[in-house]
Structure 1
Amino acid sequence: MANIFFLQLFVNLLLLCTGVFSDVTFNFENLCSDSIWRASNPSIGDLDPELGPDEFEIYNMDDTWSGSIWARTKCTTNASGYFSCETGDCRLGTPECADTTPNFPVTLLNFNVNQSIVSYQISLIHGQNIQVNIKPVGGTLLDGSGPCPSVTCNMDFGNVCPPSLISYNSNGAYVGCKSACDVFNDGQHCCIMNGCQPDEYTQKFKQQCPTAHIYPADNTPPMYQCKGADSYDVTFCPAIGTAS
C-alpha cells in the first residue's frame, strides 16, 4: 500500500507541474485471476482498457462526468481480428469500448462527478458479472452525517443464481447472473406493475450485497454523495466470498 501511495503522489505532482489536474482520482485495481477490460458510457477517454491480474492504475477523471463504468471478462480476439468478451461485451469488435451499452449481465459502477463532489453506487439492476468494491479515501458525506462509506458486492452469485437467470459461455460454464427483468421482461420483475417492490430474486441478491443497488427503486442505502475525498479505490474481485 505504501508503494501505491507514493505512486499516486508522484502522478499528482506531475500533473500539477504540467498544468493538468483533476480534483477526482480513481485507483483501479484488479485482484481477479484473469485480466479485465474496462468500459464506460459516456467515454472516460481510456484507450488502454486492459488491466491484468494484480495490476493497478491511477486514472484522473474529468472535473464533471456522469455515467457508468464496467468490467468486461474473458475477452479474446478471433482469427478475423474481432475482439469480444464473455460478459460486458460492447459489440464493437475492438478493445476500446465507450459510449455504448454492454451485453448483460453486467455489474455497473455508477458515478456522478461534479468537481470534488462525487456520487457513487454499485448497480446490479442488469445482473452481476464481477465482484467489486468502491472505497473513498477520505472525504465526508455531503449531508454532514459522517465519513464517506465503502460500497461493495464481493459475493459470487454462482451458488444462488436461479437456473433461469444463469448466463453461460459457449462451453456451458457459468459466467454471470442475469436480472429477472432482463430475462422475463414483464411488469412484475421490471417494476411496472404494482409500483416497484423487491421480488423473490432481488430479495435474495440484496441479502448477499446489501450496499448494492439491486432494483430500480432500491434506495437502501441511497446513492452516497461524497465531498473532498483524496481518491476513490475501485477494486475488482476484492476478497471474493461465496454466496449461500
Structure 2
Amino acid sequence: MQDAAPELPPDVYSIFAMDDHWSGSIWARTKCSNNASFYFSCETGDCGSGTLFCAGPPPAYPVTLLNFDINNPVVSYEVSLVHGQNIQVRIQPNGGSLVDGSGPCPVVDCARDLGDVCPSFLVAANKDGRYVGCYSACDKLKEAKYCCGDSSCQPDEYSKRNKELCNMAHTYPADNNPPKYQCKGADSYDITFCPV
C-alpha cells in the first residue's frame, strides 16, 4: 500500500475508497515519530524510507498483514501472520456472500496477542526493552527449516502455536486453512486494529 493513513486515536475511523482492481497489503505502524532531522520511523511496520509514505511492503518485521485482492465484484481477503505480529486485527465484510455459495462472507481476525506464546528469542522489543511484537521464526532465524515458499511447505512448531491462538489467520506461507476467502456483494469491509 503506497498511501498512508493519518494517525488515528482510539475509537476513530476513516473511510477509504479502493479501485475496482487492486491487490496489496494493509498494515498498522506503531509508535511513529520524526527525529530532529525529520526522519520518520516507527517501532513496528516501518517502511525504512524515512518518510511518511511507503513505496512498497514494510521491510521491517514483525508485522501483521491484511492481504486483499480486489477484482470487482469479487474480493479475496486474509489476515497473515507469516511475518509475525505487531498488532491485533479484524476484517469484517458488510454483507455479501462467498463465491462458492457456502454462506455469508465471514469475519477474519487475529484478536489475540501472540506475546502470550512468543518465545523469548522471537520477541521484538523497542529501545526500552518493551515487547512490541513477535517475529516469525523464518524472519528472525533465517534457517531453511523455518523458511519455505512452495506448496509443500509445512507449519513449524511456532506457526502451529500461533494458529492455536488465531485459527482464522494464515501463519506460514502455504497455509490454506482457512482458505483465502472470496467474497462478492459486500458493501464495504471494516478493518479494526486492536479489536476487543
Task: Establish whether TM, by shorter chain, passes 0.5.
Answer: yes
User: 1:67–1:112: 8 Å Cα contact kept in structure 2?
Assistant: yes
> What one-letter code is carried by the residue in structure 1 that aligns with 2:177?
T
Give the equivalent residue in structure 2 for 1:127. Answer: 84
CA-to-partner distance for each residue in 1:21-58, whole Å, 9 max, x for gaps? Answer: xxxxxxxxxxxxxxxxxxx2xx3xx3543222221111
Compare the two structures and name the one with the higher helix fraction. Answer: 1
Structure 2 residue 136 is matched with structure 1 residue 172: no
Question: Which secondary structure state, in structure 2, belongs to the residue aligned with residue 57 of structure 1?
Answer: coil
Structure 2 residue 84 is matched with structure 1 residue 84: no
Give the equivalent residue in structure 2 for 1:114. Answer: 71
Compare the two structures and name the one with the higher strand fraction. Answer: 1
> What one-letter code is carried by the residue in structure 1 that aligns with 2:95?
G
Q: Which moved more, 1:170-179 or 1:154-163?
A: 154-163
> What one-letter code is carried by the residue in structure 2 that aligns with 1:229?
A
Shift of 1:93: 1.1
Give the unaligned 5+ runs of structure 1: 1-39, 240-244
User: 1:71–1:107: 8 Å Cα contact kept in structure 2?
Assistant: yes
Q: Which moved more, 1:95-104 or 1:174-183?
A: 95-104
Aligned pair partner of 2:190 in 213, 218, 233: 233
Structure 2 residue 10 is matched with structure 1 residue 64: no
Structure 2 residue 40 is matched with structure 1 residue 73: no
Report the Cα distance in structure 2 between the residues aligned to 1:54 and 1:102, rounded to whole angstroms.
28
Give the equivalent residue in structure 2 for 1:219. Answer: 176
CA-to-partner distance for each residue in 1:120-146, whole Å, 9 max, x for gaps? Answer: 000000000000000000000011111
Distance 1:223 1:47, change over 3 A: closer
Report the Cα distance in structure 2 between the residues aligned to 1:176 and 1:157, rounded to whole angstroms.
8
Report the Cα distance in structure 1 between the residues aligned to 2:82 and 2:69, rounded to whole angstroms.
18
Give the equivalent residue in structure 1 for 2:95. Answer: 138
Report the Cα distance in structure 2 between the residues aligned to 1:227 and 1:141, rounded to whole angstroms.
6
Give the equivalent residue in structure 2 for 1:210. Answer: 167
Question: Which secondary structure state, in structure 2, belongs to the residue aligned with residue 207 of structure 1?
Answer: helix
Distance 1:67 1:58, change over 3 A: same
Report the Cα distance in structure 2 between the residues aligned to 1:192 and 1:116, rounded to whole angstroms.
29
Distance 1:135 1:80, change over 3 A: same
Give the equivalent residue in structure 1 for 2:153. Answer: 196
Shift of 1:117: 0.9
Question: Which secondary structure state, in structure 1, belongs to the residue aligned with residue 128 of structure 2?
Answer: coil
CA-to-partner distance for each residue in 1:153-192, whole Å, 9 max, x for gaps? Answer: 0001112100110001111110000000111112211136
Report the Cα distance in structure 2 between the residues aligned to 1:98 and 1:222, rounded to whole angstroms.
28
> What one-letter code is carried by the residue in structure 2 that aligns with 1:136?
P
CA-to-partner distance for each residue in 1:47-87, whole Å, 9 max, x for gaps? Answer: 54322222111111011000111110011111111110000
Misfit runs of 4+, over 4 Å? none
**Larger of the two Rg values belongs to structure:** 1
Report the Cα distance in structure 2 between the residues aligned to 1:116 and 1:154, rounded to whole angstroms.
28
Structure 2 residue 106 is matched with structure 1 residue 149: yes
Report the Cα distance in structure 2 between the residues aligned to 1:192 and 1:69, rounded to whole angstroms.
21
User: 1:48–1:96: 8 Å Cα contact kept in structure 2?
Assistant: no
Distance 1:47 1:87, change over 3 A: closer
Aligned length: 196
TM-score, with structure 2 as normaliser: 0.95
Distance 1:47 1:192, change over 3 A: closer
